[in-house]
Amino acid sequence: MAVDAGLMVRARETGEATFRVYGWDRPTLSFGRHERVVGRFDPAVLQARGYGAVRRPTGGRVLLHEDEVTYSVTAPAADGESLRAAFDRINVLLADALRGLGVAPVAAAPAGRERRPGADACFAAPSAGELVVAGRKLVASAQRREAGALLQHGSILLDDRQGTLPSLAVEPMPGPAPAATLRSALGRDVTRAEVRAALRAAVERAYGDVAPLDAGEVDRYAAAWRGHFADAKWTWHR
């Protein structure tokens, strides 16, 4: 989370966009920026069961980072471009990458009033514009804008572990409906390396060759945020 927040600052300062793909060193719950988690989850229970917990700088609801690929996009926010337009631009890249793997996702239609973060999970139902297969969410995404820059986070499911969330909660929580996964869509196991390669190929088809960021530069931008996102007061403040 510190790296993504730092790259958002970098996008604001340099005018450059970054597409980042990463995983987690253990199963981890990530909470949305404005989501209430106090009383719903207990950090001691999660720790005892081997799960980590973080709070994202972006919105949305709780999801479990296990058997999935996490992506982030940081970029300058174009003058006059709506949040939805930027969301759709990123979706074009995601959908192109998924088609390269053999999956044909579509954008979910608006389903009336958008839900506010509550007691359910991120993959319980798609929000408007999120990528779905056969009506089930495959890619969860959330975007934040601030001072001329944007950060979009997302999770692409390799397999569905989201049903574990109610067993980790200390407050009754409805179990999410089965999500779409790359495994169910393709009938085979899909590796993180395959997804990373497909995402890179989609970005290169759209924008040409991409260059890796210097690790030292990334660390400098992330350094100012590490303490913030490591602080339990941030993760468990509401």
Active site residues: 122
Report which of 214, 235, 222, 227 is spatially closest to residue 4, judged by C-alpha positions: 222
- Strands 52-55, 28-31: pairing is parallel
Start-to-end CA span in the chain (Å): 18
Encode burial over 127-143: b for 16+ CB neighbours within 10 A, e otherwise. bebbbbbeebbbbbbbb
DSSP 79: T
Q: Cβ neighbours of residue 232 under 8 Å, at least 6 residues apart? A: 43
Structure tokens at 140: 């969860």
Residues in the chain: 238
User: Which residue carries 């056969």 as its tokens?
Assistant: 134
3-state secondary structure 26-64: CCEEEECCCCCCECCECHHHHHHCCCEEEECCCCCCCEE
Report which of 68, 71, 72, 78 is spatially closest to residue 29, judged by C-alpha positions: 68
